[in-house]
Amino acid sequence: MNALKSREAILGGAILVLVALIASRFPGFIAPANIIAVFTDTSPLMILAMGQMVVILTRCIDLSVAANLALTGMVCAIINVAAPGLPVALILIFALFMGAALGAINGLLVWKLSIPPIVVTLGTMTIFRGVIFLLTEGKWINAHEMSPSFTGVPRQDILGLPVLGWIGIVVAVVMMVVMARTTLGRAFFAVGGNPHAAVYTGINVGRTQFLAFVISGMLAGLTGYLWVARYAVAYVDIAGGFELDVVAACVIGGISIAGGAGTVVGTLLGALFLGVVKNALPVIDVSPFWQLAISGAAIIIAVAFNAQSGRSKGRVILKSAEHAQ
Amino acid sequence: MEDHGHSTTADPASAAPVLTLDKITKTFPGVKALDGVCLDLYPGQVTALIGENGAGKSTVVKTLTGIYQPDGGQILLDGHPVPFATPQDAADAGVTAIHQETVLFDELTVAENVFIGHAPKSRFGLINTRAMHDRTGEILGSIGAQIDPGVKLKDLGIASRHLVAIARALSVEARVVIMDEPTAALSQKEIEELYELVDTLKAQGKAILFISHKFDEIFRIADRYTVFRDGQLVGAGQMIGVAEEDLVQMMVGRSVDQLFPKSRAEIGEEILTVAGYSHPTEFEDINFSLRRGEILGFYGLVGAGRSEFMQSLIGITKPSKGAIRIDGDVRVIRSPAAAIKAGIVYVPEDRGKQGAILDMPIFQNVTLPSLHMTSRNGFIQLAEELALARQYTERLDLRAASLDTNVGALSGGNQQKVVIAKWLATKPRVIILDEPTKGIDIGSKAAVHGFMSELAAQGLSVILVSSEIPEILGMSDRVIVMREGRIAAELDGDNLQPETLVRHAVGISVEGEAA
């Protein structure tokens, strides 16, 4: 517990140091407007990371989130083109349900057929992208085809923060409550921490993993609408490879890839860290290829950190070592 | 004995021991596993090593094969001290073991399994496949096994796999062969074949250490016996002239001398009745009833099917037949959640694996199955949750800096208390404790025993699964002995004697029992 708390402090500190370093050369980076822009830009990553966190906690992984996002986003765009008058609230609800349904496919395959999650989600990842192609024959849906309200909602400001950012905050708060205050949240930790023990306590391990995939899918669906609306474009390859950023945010945030350990705050900080890196590097004129290298290095450092803190100390047998600790 | 006729290379009467354990001591934190034990292994003879669960048999095997280093005493090979610092040293000295659960590789061929780690090499340092196959064929032939060295292990049945394991043990120049419960997984016909194999090995002059619980096979094939109890040597000698009674006496050989705070609780009405519970492969026709305030012991050797039956009782595995009644009403329990609801909880044997969630704080572990009691409108009430956890951890006298501490940071005894607290918090009617004091220190043991009595006094029914005779006799009102998946005996009152328990558990016919 202490290790995790200090982990979050370290990550928070790293973000502050990073921001301070950038600000020392480009004071504009810490202008309120830019901070809001960075936060808003990072919101999709935060939302997806919340879902991925739950999945990884239960010793699974969801590689299909970005494909789910793209498929759900595309279907939302198609609906908007077909029925421009449909209220955005309905589309939002539809996106949640469709994403959850796609996540449920992953969950059912893992639960009922006991297929390893990495295989299931690699498969559905490809299938979802394929379905988009079948739906559109590879054509794009562009800004001029979408209704202004459809594209406008995520960008609308409330108290100075765009709706997209607010949704990120709401999702984070809801997940904090779910993880800390519901039996389901507790079950996620229990299943990942010790599946055998969880079975004895009456927790259905498969069902818990299924629900984790449903949550991950639901948040991917939500992000699907937000993404398509924000960038005002939908095509087969949107958010291609983004699932790796999502997993990276979780890992950097201290979610143990072995399951059962991690926090919502850590995950959020992990996502923010990546968001700051992504937004800052172009500012200080670093090539996008360095961005990838820096993201990758951050992941490895984070995992090495996890492995180090997770290593058991071993038994103290020598009397002389007892005090030397 | 019968082997005299074809014993060619060794004369049992005059031979000196090949391998001797001389006053070996091995201590683990909190436990003295071996306390100055001696053991002699003679060429061309089978020495049976006998003892209850936990007598130190496995530790001896691991010491002989270089996996454990003794803290005191020495190992003598042909009369000269040899340090077995690594398993390789033991193998080089010709000591080889066929383990209880043999480690073989499914995807490799028979020959590769036999020679893994010491395959014959060609001039260029590559594995000489043909030589390896030929040698494997020879070894398999010498033990009378008809197995193609080229087939993959996964295509073989259990009995053939066992022969491969034996061939592997013999692929090094073996002088001492250790067989650790070799018949546990074999059918009667395969056991007969194994006996023939043992006779063959004897004729080749190998010294054999044969570890078994089963008296019939010990009397069938052993020339000598050595009996351990609680890590100490209690007897050794020739099988000729020894009676089953004597061996049983040596195995248990003690009065129930530890103090057990069993207060006779008021035993009330029947709570749980189990009728005809059966499973296709694990147990058959289990019948018993359990009364309010009663402690019912389940005794048996490892592998008698006790834990398997308990797991089916709480819905982890499904019985093929049978019914459970609780308070006279038939209940179907298909999942652990249903069992908890019906008031039956199971504290599993393997704490680390099945009990506690080490990365979770104490209080969350304790309340995990009872969260519905501390939730309102679907939200956990943290104050109530902490109160519930505190109530039960205090009841068990659990000492920890804070209930927020992760369970992984606690000692074994305290982890056990967390697990028990977790189950008590569900307010069960029947609590099944599977080896509740295994591997915990004496102080925690006494606390668990005291607590068990207290639970019974409060009207809870307890099922105590234990392999420790003093514990089961000291704590139980009644004892069911299981053997090979069936109930071998139900004992109470004056029948609760150590010898009686062991006889039923190992399957010796019990004369004079009817009296």
Whichever domain contains A81, its CATH number is 1.10.3470
Task: Write the residue in B337, B359, B380 that is nearest to A202 by C-beta.
Answer: B337
Tell me, yes or no, whether A30 lies in a domain.
no
The CA distance from B134 to A303, in Å, is: 48
Tell me, yes or no, whether A324 lies in a domain.
no
- C-alpha triplet B237, B240, B246: angle, nearest 5°: 65
Task: Write the residue in A177, A194, A202 that is nearest to B357 by C-beta.
Answer: A194
Domains (range + CATH), chain B: 1-94+173-253 (3.40.50.300), 103-172 (no CATH), 262-343+429-444+452-515 (3.40.50.300), 358-427 (no CATH)
Secondary structure (3-state) at B281: coil
**CB neighbourhood size of B364 (10 A):** 24
The model's confidence at residue A315, banded by pLDDT at 50, 70 and 90, is very low
A contact set with B (CB within 8 A): 1, 177, 180-183, 186, 189-190, 193-194, 196-204, 256, 260-261, 315, 317
**Which residues contact residue A305 at a Cβ distance below 8 angstroms, ignoring those fewer than 6 apart?**
A7
Say yes or no to pLDDT of A304 above 50: yes
For residue A194, what is the nearest residue in chain B, using CA coordinates? B357
In the prediction, which pLDDT does B443 show? 61
Tell me which amino acid residue B376 is. Answer: R
B contacts of A193 (beta carbons < 8 Å): 357-360
A contacts of B375 (beta carbons < 8 Å): 182-183
**Which residues contact residue B509 at a Cβ distance below 8 angstroms, ignoring those fewer than 6 apart?**
none
The CA distance from A134 to A129, in Å, is: 9
Closest listed residue to residue B63, CA positions, set B43, B82, B42? B82
Q: What distance, in Å, lies between the first and last C-alpha atoms of chain A?
A: 20
In the prediction, which pLDDT does A310 show? 54
Reported ipTM: 0.76
The CA distance from B245 to B498, in Å, is: 12
The radius of gyration of chain B from alpha carbons, rounded to an integer in Å, stands at 26
Q: What is the 3-state secondary structure (H, E, C) of B154-196?
A: HHCCHHHHHHHHHHHHHHCCCCEEEEECCCCCCCHHHHHHHHH
Residue with tokens 């040293």: B89
Q: Mean pLDDT of all residues in chain A?
A: 88
B contacts of A183 (beta carbons < 8 Å): 371-372, 375, 378, 380
The CA distance from B227 to B233, in Å, is: 6
Buried b (16+ CB within 10 A) or exposed e, B208-232: bbbbbbbbebbebbbbbbbbbbbbe
Say yes or no to pLDDT of B254 above 60: no
What are the phi and psi torsion angles at B21 (to 5°)?
-95, 125
Cβ-Cβ contacts under 8 Å between A and B: the total is 81
> pLDDT of B468-511, one tens digit each?
787 888 888 899 999 888 888 888 888 888 888 888 888 776 54
**Which residues contact residue B128 at a Cβ distance below 8 angstroms, ignoring those fewer than 6 apart?**
B119, B120, B121, B122
The CA distance from B502 to B498, in Å, is: 6
B contacts of A195 (beta carbons < 8 Å): none
Distance between A181 CA and the closest CA of chain B, angstroms: 5
The CA distance from B195 to B129, in Å, is: 31
For residue A187, what is the nearest residue in chain B, using CA coordinates? B368
Tell me, yes or no, whether A203 lies in a domain.
yes
In the prediction, which pLDDT does B467 show? 80
The CA distance from A86 to A79, in Å, is: 8
Tell me, yes or no, whether A146 lies in a domain.
yes
Distance between A123 CA and the closest CA of chain B, angstroms: 27
3-state DSSP helix/strand/coil % of chain B, to nearest 5: 35, 25, 40
Q: Mean pLDDT of all residues in chain B?
A: 82
In the prediction, which pLDDT does B500 show? 84
In the prediction, which pLDDT does B440 show? 64
What are the phi and psi torsion angles at B182 (to 5°)?
-70, -20
Number of domains composing chain A = 1
The CA distance from B315 to B305, in Å, is: 15
For residue B354, what is the nearest residue in chain A, using CA coordinates? A197
In the prediction, which pLDDT does B70 show? 87
**The pair of three-digit structure tokens given for residue B268, joined into one six-digit string:** 């009330």
Whether residues A182 and B378 touch (CB distance < 8 A) is answered with yes
DSSP letter (8 states) at residue B266 = P
Tell me, yes or no, whether A176 lies in a domain.
yes
Task: Write the residue in A189, A194, A199 that is nearest to B336 by C-beta.
Answer: A199
> With contact defined as beta carbons under 8 Å apart, do B349 and B432 qualify?
no
Mean pLDDT of B393-422: 81
Q: Where are the alpha helices (DSSP H) in chain A?
A: 2-25, 32-57, 65-82, 88-112, 117-136, 148-152, 163-181, 183-193, 195-200, 205-231, 242-252, 264-283, 288-310, 319-324
**The pair of three-digit structure tokens given for residue A214, joined into one six-digit string:** 């449903």
Which is more confidently placed, B89 or A169? Answer: A169
Q: What is the 3-state secondary structure (H, E, C) of B333-370?
A: CCCHHHHHHHCEEEECCCHHHHHCCCCCEHHHHHHHHH
The CA distance from B284 to B305, in Å, is: 9
Mean pLDDT of B165-170: 82
The model's confidence at residue B259, banded by pLDDT at 50, 70 and 90, is low
Q: Which of residues 357-386 of B touch A (CB under 8 A)?
A: 357-361, 364, 368-369, 371-372, 375, 378-380, 382
Q: Does B416 touch chain A (CB under 8 A)?
A: no
Say yes or no to pLDDT of A59 above 90: yes
Say yes or no to pLDDT of B309 above 80: yes
The model's confidence at residue A316, banded by pLDDT at 50, 70 and 90, is very low
In the prediction, which pLDDT does B14 show? 53
> With contact defined as beta carbons under 8 Å apart, do B394 and B420 qualify?
no
> With contact defined as beta carbons under 8 Å apart, do A115 and A108 qualify?
no
The CA distance from A73 to A286, in Å, is: 31
In the prediction, which pLDDT does B495 show? 82
Q: Which long-range contacts (CB under 8 A, 24 or more apart) does A76-79 make?
A: A76/A150, A76/A224, A76/A225, A76/A228, A76/A229, A76/A234, A77/A141, A77/A145, A77/A146, A77/A150, A77/A228, A77/A234, A78/A135, A78/A136, A78/A141
Q: Where are the alpha helices (DSSP H) in B176-295?
A: 188-203, 215-221, 244-252
Domain hosting residue A219, numbered range? 2-15+44-308
A contacts of B340 (beta carbons < 8 Å): 201-202
The CA distance from B503 to B515, in Å, is: 16
> pLDDT of B325-364, one tens digit each?
988 888 888 889 899 988 999 888 766 567 788 888 999 9
Cα-Cα-Cα-Cα dihedral sign, residues B433, B437, B440, B442? positive
Percent of chain A with pLDDT over 70: 92
Distance between B380 CA and the closest CA of chain A, angstroms: 5
> With contact defined as beta carbons under 8 Å apart, do B363 and B385 qualify?
yes
Tell me, yes or no, whether A290 lies in a domain.
yes
> pLDDT of B129-164, one tens digit each?
888 889 899 888 877 778 888 888 888 877 788 788
Say yes or no to pLDDT of A229 above 50: yes
Whether residues A189 and B337 touch (CB distance < 8 A) is answered with no
Tell me, yes or no, whether A6 lies in a domain.
yes
β-strand partners of B478: B296, B492
Q: Is A82 exposed, middle or buried (0-12, 13-18, 19+ CB in 10 A)?
A: exposed
Residue with tokens 């969350």: B364
Q: Strand B232-238 and strand B270-278: pairing?
A: unpaired
Q: Does B173 touch chain A (CB under 8 A)?
A: no
Which is more confidently placed, A57 or A295? Answer: A57
For residue B337, what is the nearest residue in chain A, using CA coordinates? A202
Whether residues A181 and B369 touch (CB distance < 8 A) is answered with no
Most confident of the ranges A123-132, B256-265, B286-295: A123-132
Q: What is the 3-state secondary structure (H, E, C) of B477-496?
A: CEEEEEECCEEEEEEEHHHC
Half-sphere exposure of A90 (CA within 13 A, CB side): 8
Mutation target vs A (from B357, B380, B415, B423; most A CBs, 10 A cutoff)? B357
Mutation target vs A (from B368, B411, B416, B419; most A CBs, 10 A cutoff)? B368
**Dihedral class, residue B493 (left if φ above 0, else alpha if ψ from -120 to 50, else beta):** left
> With contact defined as beta carbons under 8 Å apart, do B247 and B79 qualify?
no
Q: Which of residues 306-325 of B touch A (CB under 8 A)?
A: 314, 316
**The pair of three-digit structure tokens given for residue B313, joined into one six-digit string:** 């009782």
Helix axes B129-142, B158-171, angle to 10 degrees: 110
For residue A201, what is the nearest residue in chain B, using CA coordinates? B369
The CA distance from B445 to B66, in Å, is: 32
The CA distance from B1 to A81, in Å, is: 95
B contacts of A202 (beta carbons < 8 Å): 335-337, 339-340, 369
**Which residues contact residue B401 at a Cβ distance below 8 angstroms, ignoring those fewer than 6 apart?**
none
Buried b (16+ CB within 10 A) or exposed e, B317-348: bebeebebebeeeebebebbbebbebbbbbbb
**Which residues contact residue A109 at a Cβ distance below 8 angstroms, ignoring those fewer than 6 apart?**
A115, A120, A124
**The pair of three-digit structure tokens given for residue B304, joined into one six-digit string:** 């008698």
Task: Write the residue in A1, A177, A315 that is nearest to B361 by C-beta.
Answer: A1
Q: Does B406 touch chain A (CB under 8 A)?
A: yes
The model's confidence at residue B10, banded by pLDDT at 50, 70 and 90, is very low
The CA distance from A294 to A291, in Å, is: 5
- C-alpha triplet B478, B483, B484: angle, nearest 5°: 150
> With contact defined as beta carbons under 8 Å apart, do A201 and B422 qualify?
yes
Tell me, yes or no, whether A132 lies in a domain.
yes
